[in-house]
Structure 1
């Protein structure tokens, strides 16, 4: 049905019913003229409604058929307005137009600003500023040689990573895949194994988007196999990041043994890595701890979830971690609490995540799913929860 599965549509109809004041199916039937039996089948995902039925349900629920079918709409026009300029900037990456190029030390400072915007989920500012920076960095790579070209390419790879964050978060998956490939191209110019590992880390987004978890795990394993011995902090951090990412992929794929093996390797490597950003990825023991919770949520094992939630009562992410990483922790904590039947705690965790990184939370698909579930459970009676769900366009 216009690309929307019956299960997904049913889920959204049920969430919209809760958001409309916790209406019962009988009340919706009275308002719409659709039978209670039909509403039950639609919400259960066992029957696709006709266009007439869908329109009647949408009217009764104070929404539109398009919203029920399509899910969340565009939530940040500033980011979407910036996308055409970004697309144009990368179209001629190997044939850059003439223009000025600032000294590399000045470009380094600007790229660092973009990285900080990315890890702190400031996507609007990032999207509006990144296109001209990429054009300038393409020129810098084109005009330099030797060590200077390696430095310029390194900066370009990090800037492309920042651009990809905005594209991926806001649903431009084809553009994201192109930016990831350009990041890999730039990393190849540098001949830096740590940067190549960062590119492999980011490439996993492509496999998440297409559901190719086995392929993504294999790509990460190949990347770790290519790593030289971790004789420096940079190399150890790069390999630890790969293992953190692989643990989450393995968890999502339902492979607990692989997930725990990768977590153990990440923890071993991170013991000698001070917590900070390495080529744009936060690595250290606190980051490993956050990934341990993420893996527990992906595996959805009740015993593991209980341990993770109990541990969360004794520990919180340090405030000097990037905002996106800290908000991820509270998103996963909320998902764990929801899975354990603790909707009130889940709600509070999602509210904390929103306070830390609102743009990140608003664009997070798992947040929308969790919010829709919580609204249904509360029958739309929690005003603050309902307001957040509407803000995220989860209902």
Structure 2
């Protein structure tokens, strides 16, 4: 196993341990490692294997990428692990023999994976998801009738977590296959809420292909087929579809459709508390973030709306990390287009602090960092460091 660099790792472990208000003994116990091992790591006297880094990160409740002295290691691990996801789904109908845990344990494992996804903890996903998917495929084959629908729902949710990594890291063909399997599992669950979630996620394939008008048509069809907003769950499912439709309409330059769907998302969002519903964050705060996204998608004549939102509001810390970092990434683009490069760079740094992996591999971050580097050559050191971190050219 490769070891993380000594000094940087130790400083980060000590820092996040202090943030968590844990003693060395408490952290060592929680991570199930010897306190002497932890002490040596913190003072830079030794490195740590992948498994130890992940145990410490799990005990601290953070993504392992935050502990790596060279965060490029996290992206390298993710890219290296993506083929294992592909192999796991290739055998979805003929999975390898192996154990299958009881449904409550599978439910807990999938819930944990959803937490990693909304928290942009991609290292955790790629390390655990291939085995979990294989286990869920086995479970589907042997499940008694009364458990089949729930296991199908769990499988669809796990596939969505795997897709988050594939899509964010540019493996679009794999992402499309994962989404197709998610829809396959949802059909077996016969769950309209899950079907709406599948339509929401499927939009990624249209984003990747720049097929915005086709994506909008698919979402409108899903909206027409969705359950009416009779309770919190159905309201959130429908609202999320309108929220997504507003963004893809904005990307396609359809102002009227973008405003119509955003208004409907806002109306529905006002009727539910902010929360993660069927794997998608929805509520008044999520709609506000998408208001910024729509303004940026519509281009220069609309970016002032994004700046207005940011002047009076900021995403609360309770929102999922991926969604909060996305707000600052979108805001940075609006600020850059508005001639505010210093503000744009500050927004990118905030996004990086919230969700480093989501930020580092975001296409817009690389583009904006490269633009900032050209515009502000006098501030070379900090800007160059950031640009190199996110591979801006």
TM-score band, normalised by the shorter chain? Answer: 0.7 to 0.9
- Asked if 1:165 corresponds to 2:153, the answer is no
Rg larger in 1 or in 2? 1
In structure 1, the partner of 2:385 is: 387
SS in 2 for 1:94: coil
Whole-angstrom distance in 2 between the partners of 1:368 and 1:307:
23
Whole-angstrom distance in 1 between the partners of 2:109 and 2:267:
34
Kindly report the root-mean-square deviation, in angstroms, between the aligned alpha carbons of the 2 structures: 1.4
Whole-angstrom distance in 2 between the partners of 1:237 and 1:366:
28
Whole-angstrom distance in 2 between the partners of 1:186 and 1:380:
54
Indicate which of 315, 318, 321 corresponds to 1:317.
Answer: 315
Deviates more, 1:327-336 or 1:80-89: 80-89
In structure 1, the partner of 2:356 is: 358
In structure 2, the partner of 1:341 is: 339
Whole-angstrom distance in 1 between the partners of 2:146 and 2:276:
23
In structure 2, the partner of 1:290 is: 289
- Asked if 1:205 corresponds to 2:204, the answer is yes
Shift of 1:307: 3.0
Distance 1:380 1:192, change over 3 A: farther
In structure 2, the partner of 1:90 is: 89
Give the TM-score of the pair, scaled to structure 2: 0.80
In structure 1, the partner of 2:254 is: 255
Output one character per residue of 1:332-376: Cα deviation in whole Å (capped at 9) or x when no partner: 111111111110100101110000000000010011111111111
Larger RCO, structures 1/2 (Cα 8 Å, 6+ apart) = 1
Whole-angstrom distance in 1 between the partners of 2:222 and 2:338:
35
- Asked if 1:141 corresponds to 2:106, the answer is no
Shift of 1:75: 7.2
Q: Which runs of no fewer than 5 residues in structure 1 stay unpaired?
A: 1-72
In structure 2, the partner of 1:62 is: none
Whole-angstrom distance in 2 between the partners of 1:225 and 1:109:
33
Whole-angstrom distance in 1 between the partners of 2:269 and 2:312:
21
Output one character per residue of 1:10-30: Cα deviation in whole Å (capped at 9) or x when no partner: xxxxxxxxxxxxxxxxxxxxx
SS in 2 for 1:76: helix
**8 Å Cα contact 1:380-1:386 kept in structure 2:** no
Q: Which runs of no fewer than 5 residues in structure 2 stay unpaired?
A: 1-71
Indicate which of 364, 369, 372 corresponds to 1:371.
Answer: 369
Alignment of 1:1-395 (within 5 A): 76-302=75-301, 304-379=302-377, 381-395=379-393
Whole-angstrom distance in 1 between the partners of 2:211 and 2:224:
20
Whole-angstrom distance in 2 between the partners of 1:192 and 1:204:
19
Shift of 1:145: 3.5
Distance 1:270 1:147, change over 3 A: farther
**8 Å Cα contact 1:256-1:299 kept in structure 2:** yes
Shift of 1:84: 2.1
Whole-angstrom distance in 2 between the partners of 1:164 and 1:393:
23
**8 Å Cα contact 2:92-2:137 kept in structure 1:** yes
Shift of 1:293: 0.4
Deviates more, 1:133-142 or 1:376-385: 376-385
Aligned residues: 322
Whole-angstrom distance in 2 between the partners of 1:291 and 1:221:
17
Whole-angstrom distance in 1 between the partners of 2:272 and 2:258:
21
